[in-house]
Structure 1
Amino acid sequence: MGLVLALAGLLASACTAGPGADRVSVIASWTGSEGEAFGKVLRAFKDETGIQVDYQGTRAVDQVLASDVRRGTAPDVAVLPNPGSLAAHIRQGQVRPLDDVLGEQARGSFGRQWQNLLKLGTANLYAVPVKADVKSVIWYNRASLPGPAPRSLAELGALSTSLIAAGATPWCLGMGAPPTSGWPGTDWIEDILLHTAGPEAYRQWSAGTLPWTSAPVREAWKAWGNLVTVPGAVRGGTAAALLTDFGDAGKGLFTTPQGCALEHQLSFIMGPYQAVRRPDGGGPRPGADFDFFRFPGANVSEVSADLAGMFHDTPAARRLMVFLTSDKAQRIWPGIPGGSTFSASRTVDPGVYGDAVSRKVAATLTSDPQQCFDASDLMPATMTGAFYRAVLEYLNDPGQLETLLSRLENVRGGIPPGEWLDVPCGQ
């Protein structure tokens, strides 16, 4: 079920409270160094309010939360990496709306596009983004990208073809992410669909009203296949991609000779990049050694976020939700060197980010005119799981695409309409 980390020891010195002091319980997916980083946010809350925080970190946050809800022991606040999971709890009446909790100043921290996303398809505000990521980016080693960044999917394909012709390998690609292996491929297909068919078709697809066998969806799969399944396109071939952990795939950007030239990956990957060590002991530096260009096409971005929802309406839980929207809270984690963590708050001073590449990511999150949540994060869990598996099967045998799409369409048809989440792209 994953590793469970209670931050009692981590928070003990800062969170000692007297008898009868207020307490708030929190669950999230962060353990290890991520748990320690979130612990700094919670310590700042304790220092400001005197409220004791009981934190549980577990990689199986969905399962643990579902079990706690069934037993009637849900935490006061849950931070979930999947908007679809939080929305399921909203539909069951387990999450409290935040409209009368967050004042205008707190709500104003996030632009209109984020405020619309955080309603999760309802008329009310239900979530606060603790941290966020941009997914519509392609990373490259600054020393090896020939010419300007592609402006269209056709130009991206031409760049990939030219790299193969020159004897280079265009794509770093890794599908491994147990127990959710395959999601890096779903990100690819989502981005292609978003930038070719447009935000409205993307919304219909993520909401379960656009068939998997429709032309826009089929063409997105084919476009991805044309990029990564041709001989020489992927480091080690697609067989290697199926076995490579997503966090290791991009290391090929920094090997000598270079193992691959480009990687489509969310902004979080900056952390693993900077952790790579070369023979001289140094690591790749953002801006100097690596950078990104926007996914080519329309000016729209696919984003993801870890969202906090309030399960119990208590004074302490309310104060925590307000604190999480504050400039003080939103800049703590991004301010940790090498943390590769970003805020969607437009009030956070860009100077908190230590390099120009991170500032570009933050600017994308706070100022893009249109942003769409990761589609597979919005879909019902059954659909998402089938999507992950289909990506792996497609890479193993691209010739079975029609069979895979028909199978995915059958899964879609078996899911009740009420389980789908309709979240228009924020703008």
Structure 2
Amino acid sequence: MFGQRGSSRSRVALAGALSVGLAFSLTACGGDDDSGGGSTDTEASAIDCAPYKAFGELTGKTVTIYTSIVTPEDTPHKDSYKPFEQCTGVTVKYEGDKAFETQVLVRAKAGNPPDVAYVPQPGLLQQLVATGKAVAAPQETEANVDRFFGKDWKAYGTVDGKFYAAPLGSNVKSLVWYSPQEFKDSGYTVPTTLDELKTLTDKMVADKKKPWCAGISSGEATGWPLTDWMEDFMLRTAGPETYDKWVKHEVPFNGPEATAALDAVGGYLKNDQYVNGGLGDVKSIASTTFQDAGLKILEGSCSLHRQASFYAANFDKDTKIAEDGDVYAFYLPGKDATTKPVLVAGEFVLAFADRPEVKAFQTYLSSDVWANTKAKLSSGWVSANKGLDPNNMKNPIDKLSATILLDPNATVRFDGSDMMPAAVGSNAFWKQTTNWITGQDTKTTLDNIEKAWPQ
């Protein structure tokens, strides 16, 4: 979700997703209820206000937020700030904008940035820091990140050795959607290794099924689901260290590691025996929208669909998404049952002001308190915050995602195309893999993407 290059995909991915507010009884943290600016329909639970007293008297101060998160997903965000506002007397002003990814850079360069921006991509974060307008995170925020997040997450918020931005929300991309009832009726078991995934796929073929369904059509962003497929397999076949070098172009895009990864994807998606259940042949993947593809699981015409946690938003509201429901998901396994590579995306909290109220707000957002408050208010949201209790998640997929992220064996890597130069990540990578699924060979595909890398 996914940054300037992923903005189109994030909007279509979340289209129709509803974030549900949960009402709590509010006990004022500091001062009486009147100091909070009036009553609200959706209230939040009380929190310990002690961590914010260190920032001094903040009553009457204002913090502005700028983000790409818009209605209806913005409602639980706004509600999650209420405990902080009650504690401190600070007013948080929220501005959501679908053009955020381009406009935030314009505003920063013009000297008119917000106090805080939710940046959905490490590459964009680096660009914003390069303007000279961003400020390093306060030590209180950094201490929270050291306590509640892994080093990999902290690294994505660090530029030139200086820590700027704490992680906010995240989503898990390494998921495979399936029908629990079909698995039960057919005696299938959830695979725990890549070899077991291949064995399961072949068993489904033997049972006269087309196991996989896939779609990559997404308007101007057509092709992005294939980049996720390749990144997931790059993590699994080449390992996280090589993945990092590939993303940074320290190894060529068309090298042997990338070739093996794309060929591994092709082993599934370019195999006519495996795809495209209920939709057509291999080439139908290019003309099928990613939103529609996984719905075939409910019809029984396909059995498996690799897509991120946010895909839950595409099922009808009457669909039961649970381990014993109409549809659910399992973790896309690694080479063995102990390694847990996880492809993710998410947002980071970058400040452009170092006023006490801004520092206090950054500290709140990086805390376990905020993560659990937000979890209770949202559906379709998760965080990698280690202080998050998965039992606070609103639905089974969110709980599954949180459990994956919080697994001590998890090796998290950010969406590679969102960190590559735009000429590659949201242009050549999308277009060339689309050509690949419709017949272009692997070598030509990767050679063309390599040629697109800026010199």
Counterpart selection for 1:374 from 412, 415, 425: 415
- Residue 422 of structure 1 aligns with which residue? none
> Which residue identity lines up with residue 182 of structure 1 in the other structure?
G
Q: Identify the match of residue 91 of structure 1 among 121, 130, 134.
A: 130
Match of 2:73, SS? helix
Name the CA shift for 1:38/1:141 in 2 (closer, same or farther; >3 Å): same
Correspondences of 1:189-338 after superposition (within 5 Å): 189-232=230-273, 233-235=275-277, 236=279, 237-255=281-299, 258-273=300-315, 276-277=316-317, 282-289=318-325, 290-296=327-333, 297=335, 298-336=339-377
Q: Distance in 2 between matches of 1:53 and 1:44?
A: 11
1:305 Cα shift? 1.3
> Any conservation in 1 of the 2:321–2:328 contact (CA below 8 Å)?
no
Residue 360 of structure 1 aligns with which residue? 400
How large is the RMSD of aligned CA atoms in angstroms?
Answer: 2.7
* Aligned-partner residue type, residue 106 of structure 2: S
Most deviating of 33-42 and 241-250: 241-250
Match of 1:37 in 2: 76
Checking the alignment, whether the CA contact within 8 Å between 2:145 and 2:166 is kept in structure 1 is no
Structure 2: gaps of 5 or more residues: 1-6, 12-20, 22-35, 41-58
In structure 2, distance between residues paired with 1:318 and 1:94 = 16
Range moving further from structure 2, 108-117 or 66-75: 108-117
Gaps of 5+ in 1: 4-9, 416-427
- Match of residue 62 from structure 1: 101
Q: Which amino acid aligns with 1:291?
A: Y
Q: Which amino acid aligns with 1:382?
A: A
Distance of aligned partners of 1:388 and 1:103 in 2 relative to their CA distance in 1, 3 Å threshold: closer
Moved more, 96-105 or 376-385: 96-105
Cross-structure match for 2:179: 141
Query: Which letter maps to 2:179?
Result: N
Alignment deviations for residues 209-257 of structure 1 (CA, whole Å, 9 cap, x no partner): 11122111011111111201222512313444323332332222222xx
Query: What does residue 167 of structure 1 align with?
Result: 208
Percent identical pairs in the alignment equals 25
Among 157, 171, 182, the alignment partner of 1:118 is 157
Q: Is the 8 A contact 2:173 2:343 kept in 1?
A: yes
Aligned partner of 2:444 among 403, 406, 422: 403
1:277-302 superposed Cα distances (whole Å, 9 cap, x missing partner): 5xxxx322312123333222232222
Give 2:330's aligned amino acid: F
1-structure distance, mates of 2:435, 2:82? 45
Cα separation, 1, equivalents of 2:76 and 2:282: 35
**Whole-angstrom CA distance in 2 between matches of 1:373 and 1:85:** 13
Q: Which letter maps to 2:153?
A: W
Q: CA deviation at 1:116?
A: 3.7
Q: Is the 8 A contact 1:195 1:300 kept in 2?
A: yes
**Deviations 1:378-420 (Å, cap 9, x if unpaired)?**
21222211212222221222x33322211111122x24xxxxx
Q: CA 1:24 to 1:176, structure 2 compared with 1: closer, same or farther past 3 Å?
A: farther
2:380 corresponds to which of 327, 332, 340 = 340
Render the CA deviation track for 1:22-79: whole Å, top value 9, x for unaligned: 2222111111211222222234433332222222212222111122123221111111
TM-score if structure 1 supplies the norm length? 0.84
Residues 248 and 314 of structure 1, relative CA distance in 2, 3 Å threshold? farther
Q: Match of 2:434? A: 392
* Cα distance between partner residues in 2 of 1:174 and 1:58: 28
1:156 to 194, 197, 204: 197
Scaled by the length of structure 2, what TM-score is found? 0.79
Secondary structure of the corresponding residue to residue 292 of structure 1: strand
Between stretches 212-221 and 67-76, larger displacement belongs to: 67-76
Supply the AA of the counterpart residue of 1:286: A
| Higher deviation after alignment, 296-305 or 205-214 | 296-305
Q: Secondary structure at the match of 2:191?
A: coil
Shift of 1:106: 5.7
How many pairs are equivalent? 393
- Tell me the distance in 2 between the aligned counterparts of 1:38 and 1:166: 46
Aligned CA distance change for structure 1 residues 109 and 351 (closer, same or farther; 3 Å):
same
**Inter-partner Cα distance in structure 2 for 1:98 and 1:267:** 29
User: How much does 1:105 deviate?
Assistant: 4.5
